[in-house]
Amino acid sequence: MQTKLAYYDDPYLKTFVAKAVFVKSVGEKTEVVLDQTIFYPGGGGQPFDIGSINGLEIERVQMMNGEVVHTIKGLVRLGEKVKLELDFDRRYKYMQIHSAGHLIHDVLMTKIKELSPLKAEHGDHAYLQYQGELSGIDADQLEEMVNEAVKQGINILTKFVSYEELEKECKVIQPGLPKNKPLRMLRIGKFSAMADGGIQVKNTKELGYVSITKISVSEGKTTIHYEMGKKEKPAREMKLFISQDFHKKHPDVNLAMVEVGRVKVDKSEVLKAGDYQNKDNFEGQKLINAFQKFYKDLGLGAKAGYPAVENLYRRFAKDQYIPRINNVVDASNKISVQTLIPGGVFDSDQIKGNMTLRFSSASEEYRPLGGGTEALPEGIAVIADEEKILNLFPYRDSIYPKITSKTKNVVVLADKVEGVDIELTKKAAIEIALLLEKISGGRAGQVTVGQVSEGRISFVKKQGKKRVFSGTRATGRLHLGNYLGAVKGYIELQNNSDYECIYMAVDVHTITTPYDYKNLSEATRNIIMDYLACGLDPKKSIITVQSLVP
């Protein structure tokens, strides 16, 4: 007998009592057909429901010849009345996602007539795909239009109709629908109707907020990715700087950077054997030689091993295999070996402020992946944020920006050294970012390159050759002109031999502000507190302050 579909009568039911009309044991599991059910068997891109029957976990629900078959762990008796308990939170999430997909489609069709729907997914990685290339509307504009409809509180109605009535009401009818039985029709307000067998919410206000996470156009098709909930604030526009002393010693070294937001980290397969073949051996060897030379210029020996990309390539050439980490790290490795441009990925939410490529100071702490904290000697090439070292450049990451299952936002870096075109480096960074978009649902920003920065001033008090105070709070950014100008003009330390001026390169903007403590930025105030901690009177030492624009 066909199962009565109680989930259509009331999609908000959480519990129910039904009768087992067919029972079949399959090993330790049981397939059960009920006279009626609240468990949706899936379809139309919406996942099947889960929950329990008499407390026994449901593993799968599927429709077979008009009967809803529930696969459970355990046994029930034929003819037994059983209690159904639905995982309603999960069900409601997919109701929202499914209804949101229809609303996106309806809104889009009022603006763009040239697209034809191909397929849709209304699960954890929701999307709509169309034949045709979308133009004239970007993700933010579509999101704004959709959420305007959400706020209007439009009713979402469903009913069963004949095929003939469906033809009259719908502008588009999916191919393959049966013509000899009632079909379920969905309509959102005054938008065009559509055949649909899924489970929907009753009103658009129940959607809360719909985020359009990405619109991609490829090979004549448009794919719109979306998710529920207001999207997180866009990742800050991180900047990458190169200290003046590093740039002076290595003027041809730089990095390309792309931020990718809202990634989903998992163990899906990214790498395949064919991905590692670099066809142009001559050009490839030139790139490898360039990074080998840079390693020698840095004085890196056996401890560092081969340059990172050469090491990856050698491992693949020998074993035809590179250990898989996760989809984000694997994507970086894949493009690195394809392009022979070293790439890397950091969890950008673990980075404080901006990043700087610079030299380490004496005894600066570094904690590598898989190791304990080390005290570095002075003059080691590092990438650091405003609190800690992130990478021994260009070969070993620290533990802090490690990509984990909790990572949501990523910054992609690709290396440029003497003999490597910056455009190749930018292209490699972009390719990693685009691959992350494809495999992790991320959203890539624009590619940027490192900028040589101007000066920041920090002070330490001297006791012989030993520094007894370090201006570590000077990670707040204060610009007092360039190095020579700051030392010679703005900061009058020449007459006080108890102080040593230490300066580092960071981001600066130049807004000139007369010295007035209460009007200074918090970062500038912090540095003034460093001056006071050194015993230096800022009112006598600072003539004009140029502070960072927030």
Eight-state DSSP code of residue 481: S
CATH of the domain at 404: 3.50.40.10
pLDDT at 200: 95
Answer yes or no: is 234 within a domain.
no
Q: 528 and 417 share a domain?
A: no
Q: 468 and 411 share a domain?
A: no
Q: 507 and 519 share a domain?
A: yes
Q: 246 and 389 share a domain?
A: yes
Q: 65 and 166 share a domain?
A: no
Nearest CA to 108 among 184, 228, 197, 215?
215
Answer yes or no: is 166 within a domain.
yes
Q: 300 and 372 share a domain?
A: yes
Answer yes or no: is 431 within a domain.
yes
> Are 288 and 307 contacting, i.e. CB atoms less than 8 angstroms apart?
yes
Segments of the chain scoring below 50 in pLDDT: 233-234, 273, 277, 279-280, 455-520, 523-525, 528-550
Cα torsion 26, 29, 34, 38: sign? negative
CATH of the domain at 133: 3.30.980.10
CA distances from 113 to 106, 117, 146, 180 (A): 11, 11, 17, 30
> Are 146 and 212 contacting, i.e. CB atoms less than 8 angstroms apart?
yes
Q: 246 and 186 share a domain?
A: no
CATH of the domain at 16: 2.40.30.130
Among candidate residues 451, 475, 498, the one where a domain is terminated: 451
Among candidate residues 451, 468, 493, the one where a domain is terminated: 451
Q: 268 and 415 share a domain?
A: yes
246-288 pLDDT tens trace? 999 999 999 999 999 888 898 877 655 455 545 445 566 788 8
Q: 350 and 475 share a domain?
A: no
Q: What is the SS3 assignment for 70-107?
A: EEEECCCCCCCEEEEEECHHHHHHHHHHHHHHHHHHHH
Answer yes or no: is 436 within a domain.
yes
Backbone angles phi, psi at 210, to 5 degrees: -115, 125
pLDDT at 50: 96
Answer yes or no: is 42 within a domain.
yes
Answer yes or no: is 201 within a domain.
yes
> Number of folded domains in the chain?
4
DSSP structure string for 414-477: EEE-TTS-HHHHHHHHHHHHHHHHHHH--EE---EE-EE-EEEEEEEEEETTEEEEE-GGGGS-
pLDDT at 271: 57
pLDDT at 522: 53
Among candidate residues 436, 451, 466, the one where a domain is terminated: 451
CA angle at 351 for the pair 345 and 357, rounded to the nearest 5°? 75
Distance, first Cα to last Cα, the chain: 69
Answer yes or no: is 478 within a domain.
yes
Domain that holds residue 502: 455-547
Q: 441 and 540 share a domain?
A: no
pLDDT at 78: 95
CB-count burial class (<10 Å; 0-12, 13-18, 19+) for 4 = middle
Q: 218 and 287 share a domain?
A: no
Answer yes or no: is 233 within a domain.
no
How far is the C-alpha of 550 from the C-alpha of 528, rounded, in Å?
Answer: 17
Q: 485 and 418 share a domain?
A: no
pLDDT at 100: 97
How far is the C-alpha of 485 from the C-alpha of 536, rounded, in Å?
Answer: 19
